[in-house]
Amino acid sequence: MVYHSQSRKEVVEALLSDEVNGLKASQISELQNKYGSNRLKEKKKKTTFQRFMAQFKDVMILILLAAALVSFVIACIEKNPKEFFEPVLILLIVILNAIMGVMQESKAEKALDALKSMSAPHARVIRDGKESVIDAAELVPGDIIKLEAGDFIPADARLLHSAGLKSEESALTGESVPSEKDAEAEVEQKAPIGDRTNMVFSGCSITYGTATAIVTATGMDTEMGKIANLLDEETETQTPLQKKLAQLGKNLGIIALAACAIVFVVGLTNDIPPMEIFMTAVSLAVSAIPEGLPAIVTIVLSIGVQRMVKKNALIRRLPAVETLGSASVICSDKTGTLTQNRMTLVKAYVQESADASVENAQAESLESNDSSKFNKLLQYSALCCDGSVVFENGEEKHIGDPTETSIVLAAHKKGMPKDELNEKYPRLAEIPFDSDRKLMTTINRIDGKNVVIVKGAFDMMSQRCTSGNLEIGKKITDEMSADALRVLAVGYKEIENIPEQLTSEEIENGLTFLGLLGMIDPPRPEAKAAVAVCRKAGIRPVMITGDHIITASAIATELGIKKEGDKAITGAQLDEMTDRELENEVENISVYARVSPENKIRIVKAWQRKGQVVSMTGDGVNDAPALKAADIGCAMGITGTDVAKGAADMTLTDDNFATIVDAVREGRGIYDNIKKVVGFLLGTNIGEVITVFLAMILWHKTPLLSMQLLWINLVTDSLPAIALGMEDVEADVMEKKPRPKNEGIFAGGLGIRIVLQGIMFAILSLLAFRIGENVTGELAGGQTMAFMVLALSQTVQAFNMRSDRSLFKIGPFSNKKLNLAVLGSVVMMLLVLFTPLRVAFGLIKLPVKLYLIALGLIFVPLVVMEISKAISSIKNKNK
């Protein structure tokens, strides 16, 4: 059926639905079986086998496998059983490495899939006459859905009712300007998508107005679904850090290959068998090049992101995790983020006479007065609300804006349920709220008259009222705001006819001031502590709100955001400032009240010009540009619109300021863990290269065979590295200043420490090699000692890298995952050293005294690192 050319009634009948009550519960499962899930087909994922084969695309591994194959062929020709060990062993180790690589990738993918499912869109649907919020994937054709500004459209739908509706359809039509929509529009059957003004389409968003619509197509049957294969070209993006590390890996690879080439040439000139020295050189290259570093960083990032989800911070883009650790300014909304967002209507003022005394006028508690004057104010304000309160099993469920639901609930308690009011006094037209006007208007049929009801900020309302004592209104507004109440003004007028085109200039002027509503939204108990943590961490908290400046200042002072000497300004004052003036003043301003979305962008950019990394919260459609402009855009998970969430880097699932601070803490911890992993892997890899290189140059002998190098790589480079990346965030991480925005990962002396650690491993391994060779009189004795010391000293180093503080202060074995990883590594080493497997690895049994010497050398890194940490601690204290 071509829905856009049919009448609303025909569409509803064709889809076996009901315009008022929606589908029946009994229809849903049948329709879901018929049409399937409301999802687009996803890009086909790699199979486990494809992932496994992808592990062998590295050039050096292919060369190694080719060398192993040649070695195997030679063994077959020479018919020497002992020669089979090395190629078979190399093959087994490479396969084991590949299996571990697949397991790591799968773990990372599952983590990211879990995040994807958590950020799935939702839809407001009417079924069996009840409104509820469901996962958009559960929608079926025939469902009645509600849409408002900021919503992503979850499926193709025919409009049933609309008010001032505009839809952003550039993803579908290429039109950069939002399309005006009208449920009443008559559209030709052959009209192109852009001209179907009575339809809305999946994947687009509502930029203005409200609507009720009936779903006509879901999933791959939608217009977006028809071109889904064009959208199936997503490329896997890397974070800036991953790109830097990948480039670093390439640079180190070049150095390692040069060293390996020298090792090969020196080996050949010193009569080492060509195949043996070739295999050793290639194995050294495979072990030394940190090709797995970006993958391990991905795992550390994704595991960290999972940890953040548990703390109510949903990261949408991995680069945001890196940026979080650098956040130096947090610009936060007040309502619901710093406060509890449990708006309760506690006070009201109704103007009985325009001649009332200014001195005697005061707001009254709603509980203390049940007169008709309050009922009229509540009735009119409830009619001018889109929010609703549903009672299920004795529990209140608030749907929509908390300010509106507090009004609806107050009216309900006074015997005026919203549904009954809507039925008795039907809404005929409306001008939806937007953050520029700060007003919302409805036209209702009340007692046979067309009544325009306007609610919004008093300072905007007062400009549009021609009747009523506005001086009293200003006084009461200031008094309630000083008590940290959020204040809404209500005005009205009667009109004869409703214009075809509603404009703010015509409808929202010439009003009679009816009264004021005062709502309390107390600060969150945890917000004050979170602000204190920010201050300690060198992060500047800033309050940005659409609320009254007196209310905002009172809350900001109570929470510690506004200190003595700090300024609080309004959006109007901000508009009068030039960009240069704002830049000069921005560090002195802690509170911005009555701001517009455009103001938010200016505030972000002013801080950024100061070199700061800015986090900004937002929930509305118009906040999207500011969220994108900020270094870290934080959307509200509860009150936030779909558009805001789509523009943000992070969604706060509990709309809580403390969650932003927790996310910064986790971001710092994750970045520190990545630095630990990088330091550990590069330090150990450099140690392996220097060991083999110097032994070949100095003594023309290879201290480690190819399979020994590969086994060390398998034992030390995977499990301990990942476990190190899962280290708990250190207790003092929020006592440090934010990391500069462009600081490299090797800043703070990490690069020098990595090289020094590599030299330390090389010295220990070469010393072990010489001692082993001299005592046993065999090259294999020296290789056994070097193998044992190099591998096991690296597992000790994994513990050293856990913190810049002494290992004994943080608890040597407090990272249980690292304990298990190192235990696994040690067991694998012991199997090779003390079982018949040692023969395959070219190892021999050593005298007891050599094992004791080796044990001493293995723990040298612990002593060296503890001394280094103690010296650093003394230096820091002196500073």
Contact 226, 32 (CB under 8 A): no
Contacting residues for 777 by C-beta, under 8 A, at least 6 apart = none
Q: At what angle do helices 779-800 and 706-717 cross, to 10 degrees?
A: 10
Angstrom distance (rounded) from CA 789 to CA 783:
10
How far from the centroid of its chain's Cα atoms is residue 156's Cα? 28
What amino acid occupies position 2?
V
Pairing of strands 439-446, 427-434: antiparallel
Contact 669, 304 (CB under 8 A): yes
Known catalytic residue: 333? yes
Q: At what angle do helices 750-776 and 779-800 cross, to 10 degrees?
A: 150
Task: Name the residue among 498, 386, 390 with its Cα closest to residue 434.
Answer: 386
Task: Name the residue among 154, 167, 123 with its Cα closest to residue 219.
Answer: 154
Pairing of strands 344-350, 511-520: antiparallel
Task: Name the residue among 263, 253, 261, 258 with its Cα closest to residue 288.
Answer: 253
DSSP string, 307-340: HHHTTTEEESSTHHHHHHTT--EEEE-STTTTB-
What is the 3-class SS of 139-161, one letter each residue? Answer: CCCCCEEEEECCCECCCEEEEEE
Contact 203, 153 (CB under 8 A): yes
Locate 195 and state its tokens.
């001209």
Contacting residues for 47 by C-beta, under 8 A, at least 6 apart = none
User: For the CA atoms of the chain, what is the radius of gyration?
Assistant: 34
| Residues forming a β-bridge with 615 | 330, 632
Quickly list H helices, 326-399.
372-383
CA dihedral 597→600→605→607, nearest 10 degrees, is: 180
Contact 140, 218 (CB under 8 A): yes
What amino acid occupies position 602?
R
Residue 43 DSSP class? P
Of these residues, 18, 143, 151, 333, which one is catalytic?
Answer: 333
Burial of 454 per CB tally in 10 Å (0-12, 13-18, 19+): buried
Compute CA distances 214 → 8, 28, 146, whole Å. Answer: 9, 14, 9
Q: At what angle do helices 779-800 and 848-858 cross, to 10 degrees?
A: 30
DSSP string, 217-279: E-GGGSHHHHTHHHH--PPPPPPHHHHHHHHHHHHHHHHHHHHHHHHHHHHHHTT--HHHHHH
Locate 729 and state its tokens.
């965030």
What residues are annotated to the active site? 333
